[in-house]
A and B are shown apart, each in its own frame.
Chain A
Amino acid sequence: MSTINQPLTKIKLLNPTYPNKSTGIINGESSGLLNWNDIAYPQMYDLYQTLLANFWKAQEINMQDDIKQWDSLTDVEKDIFLRVNTQLASLDSLQTPTMSHVMDYVTDSSFKAIFAVISQQEAVHNESYSYVLSSLIPLREQNERFNQAKEDPIVKKRNEIILESYEAFRQDPTPQRLFELGINSINLEGIYFYAGFAFFYNLARQQKMLKTSTMISYIQRDEMQHAYFIAQFVRILLTENPELNTEENIQYIYKAIDHAVQLEKEWSNFILKDIEGINLEEFHGYVEYLANKRFRQLGLENYYPNREENPMPWIHVFSDEMMNETKSDFFEQKSRTYTKVSSSNGFDEL
């Protein structure tokens, strides 16, 4: 049996004879102690700090405006709002335990720490959907909506593929399955959320339910960094374990992400079809554009031709100014001493 199909062993908590700096992200020798100043991939410290800088909690967002606006939404908008909310909550519910489960088999302590932060953030996302629901509808209706999400055939079909991969790793945690879990996790965090995001941001474009969209924007910011981290994790996993870095596995990535793209289109056809302001064909293009970005994050090539341009640039994280945050780090203060210049000042912007 090839090593990539041999179960990973849970590493002991403390291994005093091993170095603090792990010799590998899986199957490595690591003492179990974490000193961020002595890690195998120093850039992981930056990523850890970036993730922590995102910290937020649902209760910081006052839902009063949205509560007042709720009754002015159309029945279709309300229905889709609740469907999307519970569907996203279902996805995040899977992600929290999976990320902490992976921790047991990763031997590099700095990666363990980042998985712990990601898991914590997924728990906050999960809670934030509950927080929105509790502001808008009674518990009885919330339960109905969650049951609906559990039974919806399209949602089920989407989730099954992810679940299969996550469960397979739980049953038999091999390097190959960890790799597959990583790709499915990118699909979950980096593709599956976006029909939902499009719905909420589209409402925001019409000045509707802005508090919910602020929360969605926080969630998107976190998710983007999670997908980014997982992509880095996969790249390092393939580099450190050349036996995983096969043509077959590269094809697995293209196939799995393409499949997720098709499923996201299918979900969007259902969920966004009656939503004013969203053109389905344009959204399909958007999903392909999005997937191209995921391929590039994984160090691969664009898969969908002519999808370099973002057809829906309004689906993006709110800027700090929009969220009324005040952030003053060294460079932001410093930059204000210079006037913003543009190509009209005699240089080219490519």
Chain B
Amino acid sequence: MKAAIIYTSVTGNTTFIAETIQENMEKRNVATDLIPVDEFHPERLHEYDIIAVGMYTWANGEIPIEMEEVYDAFETEDLKHTVTGVFGSGDSFFAHYCGAVDLFRDMLYVHTNLAVTLKIELMPQEPDLVKCEKFCDRLLQETLVIQ
């Protein structure tokens, strides 16, 4: 089984979550590639059983522009059976807290086997680390269901 985490980060909050998820996946014996969005290749999506996508959200809850290619790839490649999860950081004072996660979620639900979403406010704290563990458990659980 092979997993990938595709992410973008500005302040490092999302990077921290991405790295935490990678560690947790490796701990569960799943080889996991950590892919910053500028190293992303659409054709390689098929190599993975599990893909987690992560991004930050600013202000009005839009998807960061650099994630456009990833978004398009999920729409056009056939990934119906890939188990996916989407995570992100944001600030709940804005009207659309982690809005980018929601937008990605709605699309992934249609085009992939979406298992789990995760929102974290700014720099992850202790309770958030527990959520990162659950995030990985949920991804693996879904993979086992398929097999």
Q: Which B residues are CB-close (under 8 A) to A232?
A: 11
Known: A232-B11, A299-B123. A331 touches B96 (CB 8 A): no
Is A43 a contact of B10 with CB atoms below 8 Å?
yes
**CB of B137, distance to nearest CB on chain A (Å):** 10
Q: Which of A308, A317, A322, A349 contacts B93 (CB 8 A)?
A: A317
Q: Which A residues are CB-close (under 8 A) to B138?
A: 347-348, 350
Is A308 a contact of B127 with CB atoms below 8 Å?
yes
Known: A310-B92, A331-B62. A339 touches B117 (CB 8 A): no
Is B95 a contact of A296 with CB atoms below 8 Å?
no
Distance in angstroms between the alpha carbons of A319 and B92 in the assembled complex: 12
Is B95 a contact of A320 with CB atoms below 8 Å?
yes
Is A348 a contact of B94 with CB atoms below 8 Å?
no
Interface range on chain A (Cβ under 8 Å from partner): 35 or more
Interface range on chain B (Cβ under 8 Å from partner): 35 or more
Contact of A83 with B by CB under 8 A:
no
Tally of contacts, chain A with chain B, CB under 8 A: 98
Tell me the A26-57 residues at the B interface (CB within 8 Å).
Answer: 43, 46, 50, 53-54
Q: Which of A228, A317, A341, A345 contacts B95 (CB 8 A)?
A: A317
Is B92 a contact of A316 with CB atoms below 8 Å?
yes
Tell me the B129-147 residues at the A interface (CB within 8 Å).
Answer: 131, 134-135, 138
Given contact pairs A43-B11, A338-B109, enumerate 17 new A-B contacts (beta carbons under 8 Å): A296-B121, A300-B123, A301-B125, A313-B92, A316-B94, A317-B93, A338-B107, A339-B106, A341-B105, A341-B106, A347-B117, A348-B138, A349-B116, A350-B116, A350-B118, A350-B135, A350-B138
Q: List 10 A-B contacts (CB under 8 A).
A: A53-B59, A221-B94, A296-B123, A320-B95, A335-B103, A348-B115, A348-B116, A349-B117, A350-B117, A350-B131
List residues of chain B with CB under 8 Å of any chain A CB: 10-12, 58-60, 62-64, 68, 71, 91-96, 102-103, 105-107, 109-110, 114-119, 121-123, 125, 127, 131, 134-135, 138
List residues of chain A with CB under 8 Å of any chain B CB: 43, 46, 50, 53-54, 220-221, 224-225, 228, 232, 235, 293, 296-297, 299-302, 308, 310, 313, 315-320, 322, 327, 329-332, 334-335, 338-341, 345, 347-350
